[in-house]
């Protein structure tokens, strides 16, 4: 069912349950295979091909319509100005808590959107690449605030998206390693002018401070992946257990000791305390309050499946 009014008052939002949203897929083909999906899913993320069919294909179709309309508008402006250069990239922001599944959402959209013929070049950038290096965070006393707005080089992030939007042919940005838990010195990600740029990160919908621009000011469409705080906590701990068994066992991992010298009970207590004192605080104080700024919200149930979708119509 859809809902465009509340208590008899018209709303700029429409809310649809899973069944109603899935029907909007129309004839959009499902081209991903189980193998493809396995490469796109995050650690412990249970997203299935059924989820792709019911949730992400309708979203891909909607975004394709948005991109087409935006390209037409840009073409009209260029014709008016007598310009012949390519249109600016369509920029999508994907926000949500740690462990809620936003990275999987972003990777799925990159894959699905690139299959539409009018925008085959899709780039994905994580705002983790714009975290300050650990040395800077330590000098500023911010290591326990990693992931909070002040831990990012927001000026560089805004400059990057602004230059992409202005038509830069190619830009290089830092690279963040989850294995090393730090920016990798000397390594760069090259971003070539795309048809669509997806910017994924926990705080991408943060408003600007007075007199400044925020990265969200450059978004043509934004998505917030939402769930109850208690559910996200459980998924965070599930992911930590899996990482302890896999990635943390790599001797190069920043958290290698969690897999080798720390007992399981102590490791899980560390994870629970990290969630309680850092990630949950950041979610409640900084991330969740930006949900209302999103064009579309995906609401997940306790099984990680999207149960309903809210879309801003205007």
Query: Would you list which residues are annotated within the binding site for ATP?
Result: 96-103
Instruction: Report phi then psi at 301, rounded to 5.
Output: -90, -175
Instruction: Report phi then psi at 124, rounded to 5.
Output: -125, 130
Q: Which secondary-structure segment (H or E) carries 267?
A: helix 264-274
With the CA atoms of 104, 108, 111 and 112 taken in that order, what torsion angle do they form, in degrees rounded to the nearest 10? Answer: -170
Assess contact for 67 and 262: CB atoms under 8 A. Answer: no
The pairing of strands 306-312 and 90-96 is: unpaired
The alpha carbon dihedral of 85, 158, 228, 295 has a sign of negative
Q: In Å, how far are 201, 228, 303 from 285, measured between CA atoms?
A: 16, 15, 25
Indicate the annotated binding residues. 96-103
Distance CA 111, CA 17 (A): 24
Assess contact for 309 and 15: CB atoms under 8 A. Answer: yes
Q: Is 167 left (phi over 0), alpha (psi -120 to 50) or beta?
A: left
Distance CA 231, CA 168 (A): 41
Q: What three-state secondary structure class fits 287?
A: helix
Q: What three-state secondary structure class fits 72?
A: helix
Q: Where are the alpha helices (DSSP H) in 30-167?
A: 34-40, 49-51, 57-81, 102-113, 134-139, 154-165
- Give strand pairing partners of 177: 182
């Amino acid at each position: 069912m859809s809902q465009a009014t509340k208590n008899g008052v018209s709303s700029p939002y429409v809310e649809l349950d899973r069944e109603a949203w899935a029907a909007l897929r129309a004839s959009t083909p499902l081209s991903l295979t189980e193998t493809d999906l396995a490469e796109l899913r995050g650690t412990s993320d249970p997203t299935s091909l059924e989820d792709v069919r019911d949730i992400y294909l309708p979203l891909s179709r909607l975004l394709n319509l948005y991109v087409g309309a935006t390209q037409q508008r840009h073409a009209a402006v260029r014709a008016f100005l007598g310009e012949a250069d390519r249109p600016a990239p369509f920029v999508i922001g994907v926000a949500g808590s740690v462990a809620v599944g936003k990275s999987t959402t972003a990777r799925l959209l990159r894959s699905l959107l690139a299959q539409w013929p009018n925008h085959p070049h899709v780039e994905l950038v994580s705002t983790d690449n714009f975290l300050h290096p650990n040395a800077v965070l330590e000098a500023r006393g911010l290591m326990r605030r990693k992931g909070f707005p002040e831990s990012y080089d927001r000026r560089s992030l805004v400059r990057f998206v602004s230059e992409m939007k202005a038509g830069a042919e190619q830009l290089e940005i830092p690279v963040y390693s989850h294995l090393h838990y730090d920016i990798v010195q000397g390594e760069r990600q090259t971003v070539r002018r795309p048809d669509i740029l997806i910017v994924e990160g926990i705080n991408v919908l943060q408003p600007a401070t007075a007199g400044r621009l925020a990265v969200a000011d450059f978004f043509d469409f934004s998505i917030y992946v939402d769930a109850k705080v208690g559910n996200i906590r459980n998924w965070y701990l599930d992911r930590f257990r899996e990482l302890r068994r896999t990635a943390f066992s790599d001797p190069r991992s920043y958290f290698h000791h969690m897999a080798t010298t720390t007992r399981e009970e102590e490791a899980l207590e560390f994870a629970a305390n990290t969630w309680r004192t850092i990630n949950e605080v950041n979610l409640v104080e900084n991330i969740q309050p930006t949900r209302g700024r999103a064009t579309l919200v995906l609401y997940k149930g306790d099984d990680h499946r999207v149960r309903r979708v809210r879309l801003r119509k205007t």
